[in-house]
Amino acid sequence: MFGPAGRRTSANSKVNPPYSGKLSWAGVKFSKAQFFQLFPLGGSSQWKPVYLAIRHVSEVIGDTDSKKCFPSARRDLRQAAYDGDVHVRGRKQLPQANPFGKDDFDEISTDIDKHYWSVSQMAPLTTGAEAQTMSHTLPLTAFAWGPKGVYERSQYAQLTVSWADIIKKWPGGVDRGKKFVARQLDDLYAEGVGERNRLMPTIPHFDRDKESEIFTEWDNKVLALLDSDYVAVAEKSSFRTLNLFDPVSAIDADKSSDQHHMEGMWTEKLRRLKTIIDRVGQ
């Protein structure tokens, strides 16, 4: 009940609860200062999800390669973790498969030894807010973790990082306030309108694969911005998944069904995005 720094926790007396056969402390009191040091209020927590760290690092170093899940930012964060400049925690894979089949990882997060990063890398899934409970690490090579290869139980899920370490290592970054998010979304809205309008007249040799690639790249940029505290989960979900909608496109008898459908997808995505912008920009 007493520590080297003085009295931190106290109790009135010891009691013997019925049927327990053991003595217990009664009237336990905790030090308020120590309690809030160990369990700070939600807004002051120093540990944040790894995808926020990767987003911050990518902005500072200029890694804009969202199609490859910001490889330079993930590499630099891994290097900092190995160097001991950034502390990383995660839910370690259990030594044996969970007999109940619900979760393959420990319930608590533990510190990851810096030497782990000499043979491990941060998976692309670390960049997605919706994938934070999945496995976040991969072996650097096929047998980097041991003779069982990828079947070695050395994965970590739900990585978190010390935000103080991140800001110290990479000061600056973009202020993602409400106005910033609204402006960026509005810029992407204008970009999307331009792409949709390009599809309104008939394109004689419509390349569905090329147009799908353009659409997907724009869609991913919007989704990255929708990973914001200012956008509701329901709004992001509605934008991400197009279902139960009737494609609307400019009438042209010579237009192919593929072009008609692609134009309709652009129009519906833009309609949903405009609804989000109007609310966030208020």
Q: Could you tell me the maximum CA-CA distance found in the chain, to the nearest angstrom?
A: 89
Give me the pLDDT at residue 21, please.
57
Residue 45, phi-psi category: left (phi > 0), alpha (psi -120 to 50), beta (remainder): beta
- Confidence band of 17 (pLDDT split at 50, 70, 90): low
Give dist(CA 147, CA 130) in Å, integer.
32
Res 112 pLDDT > 80 = yes
pTM of the model: 0.53
How confident is the model over 230-279, as pLDDT tens digits? 899 999 999 988 877 777 777 777 889 899 989 999 999 999 999 999 99
79 to 16, 54, 122, 169: CA distances (angstroms): 54, 13, 11, 11
Residue with the larger pLDDT of the pair 35 and 83: 83
Give me the pLDDT at residue 179, please.
79
Give dist(CA 163, CA 97) in Å, integer.
32
How confident is the model over 135-180, as pLDDT tens digits? 999 999 999 999 998 889 999 999 999 999 999 999 876 656 777 7
- What is the domain partition of the chain in residue ranges? 47-169, 178-280
Mean pLDDT across 182-191:
90
How confident is the model over 25-82, as pLDDT tens digits? 656 665 655 554 555 444 335 899 999 899 899 888 888 888 899 999 999 999 999 9
Res 2 pLDDT > 90 = no
269 to 85, 108, 153: CA distances (angstroms): 41, 39, 41
Residue with the larger pLDDT of the pair 31 and 201: 201
Give me the pLDDT at residue 43, please.
39
- Within the chain, residue ranges assigned H as helices are 32-38, 50-61, 71-83, 163-169, 178-198, 208-226, 233-240, 257-280
Give me the pLDDT at residue 13, please.
57
At residue 43's C-alpha, the angle toward residues 38 and 47, to 5°, is 60
